[in-house]
Structure 1
């Protein structure tokens, strides 16, 4: 995997395994017209995770608890 996706070096071995399994599932389902998750979305999501983890300051910041009331959530149909 590191040869194809160099950014996986920032993932733990457990995260790398999860990414690999999710990618294989997405590739297997790629031929199915009714599947919503695309291979590109799987890769983009895990790459974003790796990019955050690559920057210790940003990673520490996103792991901090948030507080306060951010107001009501509107649900659109």
Structure 2
């Protein structure tokens, strides 16, 4: 059984639905490319429920570990760089804030069966780490400039 996702054009699903759907026996998911919209992913209901069960179990285990013992947060902070190498650029207080926010957001997202907030959180924190990795960018974003260029002109009066 193949582990890679198969990809076809959406029109293939419409025009050759039986053959296209048969590909789900070989692949866990079928990526449907659309010409006029966002690509879609097709999977079986059983496989989607299995994926949901695994993510939910991992979320509950992570949350339990993070809250179980006083030293567990330190363990989480120690393993985060293995999962997310970019956290090495975060200052220590931000790393701790990320860990807490990640666990809390994962628990909340699991409770409503919607992981979009977790994905957004990861993207936002990664961008924060990117800013910390570039001193010039960090200075520009935090307003810590060596030079003051004075008041910006009113754009309504620009020629």
Aligned residues between the structures: 69
CA-based RMSD of the aligned residues comes to 2.5
Give unpaired runs (5+ residues) of structure 1. Answer: 71-77
Give unpaired runs (5+ residues) of structure 2. Answer: 1-79, 145-150
TM-score by length of 1: 0.75
Partner of 1:18 in structure 2? 97
1:33 positional shift: 2.7
Higher helix content, 1 or 2: 2
> How big is each residue's C-alpha offset from its partner over 1:5-62, in whole Å with a ceiling of 9 and x where there is no partner?
0000111111001000000011111223398x71111111111100011001111111
The CA distance in 2 between the partners of 1:44 and 1:4, in whole Å, is: 14
Partner of 1:40 in structure 2? 119
The answer to which structure, 1 or 2, has the higher relative contact order (CA under 8 A, 6+ apart) is 1
TM-score by length of 2: 0.38
Cα distance change of structure 1 residues 2 and 34 upon mapping to structure 2, 3 Å threshold: closer
